[in-house]
Amino acid sequence: MQTRLKVHMALFAVSLLYAATFTIAKLAMPLYVKPFAFILLRVSVATICIYFFHRHFVKGAIQDKKDLWPLFVSAVFGVAGNMLLFFKGLSITSPINASVLMLNTPIFVLIFAAFILKEKLTIHKISGILIAALGALLLIGGRNFTFNQTSALGDLFVTLNAIIYAFYLVYAKKLMVKYHPLTVTLYAFFFGFFLVLPFGLSQTLEIDVAHLPLSIWGAIAFVTIGATFLTYVLNAYALKHASSSLVGSYIYLQPVLATLIAILSGKDHLSADKFLSMLIVFSGVFLASYKKLDKNN
C-alpha cells in the first residue's frame, strides 16, 4: 500500500475516533469522572500502551540527549497543555463555541509551518483550509457562536489550546522525521504524565471505581485507548510522512464525522444544508492535501 494512502487512512481514523469521543466521553464526564481525572487516565493508560507496544515492535531510543528538551516541550504543548486547556475550557464555554474556536487550529498550523518549517504557502493549502473551515463552520452552526462574560474565560482556554496544539504539530515534525514516531510519542507521554499528575490526582482518587457501570468502563476504555493511544500514534505516523498543514487540515473532518455518527445513532437527521456543508469540507480537505506528501513517497 502506498505511503500516501496510508497517511490519509491514518488521519481519517484519527478524525473518526475524535468525532466519536465527544459523544462517548459525555457518558462518563462529569458525573462519573471529572475532567482533569479523565486527562490523567488518558495520559496514564496511553503511556502504558505505548510503552509495551514500543518495547515489542520498535525498541528505539533517543540517541542525542539534546533532543530530550524538545521532547519535553512536545509534552507541554502536545500532551499536557492542550488537554488541560481544552477540557477546562469546555467545562466553562458551550460545545458550539469550543467547536468553532477549534477550527482555528489548521490556520495556526499553516502559519507556524511557514515560519518554523519554511513550508510554502501554496494557493492549494490556503484556499483548501479556508474552504474546509467555511464548511465546518456552517455544519456546526456558527451562527450560534456568541461571546459573553460567562463563556469568555472558557473561550480563551479553548483558543489557547488550538494555538498550542497547532504549534505541537509543527514543532514535533522534525523529531518524527529523526526518530521513529512511536519513540517520540512515548517520551512525550512519559513527560506529559508528570505534568498532568498534579492537576488530575485528587479528582482521580474521587472516582467510585467499585460502582462504575460497565458502559462507563467502556467509555473510559474508548477514550483512553482509542481516542488517545491510537490517535497520537496515528498522528505521529502521519507527521513523519506528511506536512504539518495536511495533518492539521483533517481537523475539519471531525464535525462532519460527528454529525454522521449522530445521524446514524438517531440523534440527528440529514438535511440538505448539512449535506452541502459536508461536501464543502471534503472539497477543502482534498484541495489542502493536494501534493502535500513528500515527493519520495
Q: What is the mean pLDDT of the chain?
A: 82
Is the pLDDT score of 220 beyond 90? yes
270-284: average pLDDT? 74
* Residue whose entry in the numeric block shows the C-alpha cell 489548521: 106
Q: Return the minimum-mean-pLDDT range out of 53-57, 144-148, 187-191, 225-229.
A: 144-148
Determine whether 255 is exposed, middle or buried from the number of CB atoms within 10 Å of its CB (0-12, 13-18, 19+).
buried
Is the pLDDT score of 292 beyond 60? no
At residue 30's C-alpha, the angle toward residues 150 and 143, to 5°, is 40
| Cβ proximity of 186 and 50 under 8 Å | yes
**Tens digits of residue pLDDT in 91-148:** 777 666 666 677 778 888 888 888 888 877 778 777 877 887 777 667 665 555 555 6
Domain locations in the chain as residue ranges: 3-118+145-241
Higher-pLDDT residue of 70 and 106 is 70
Determine the pLDDT at residue 268.
60
Q: Distance between CA 265 and CA 243 in Å, rounded?
A: 34
* Residue whose entry in the numeric block shows the C-alpha cell 504549534: 167
Question: Which residues fall within 8 angstroms of residue 68, CB to CB, at 6 or more apart?
Answer: 62, 187
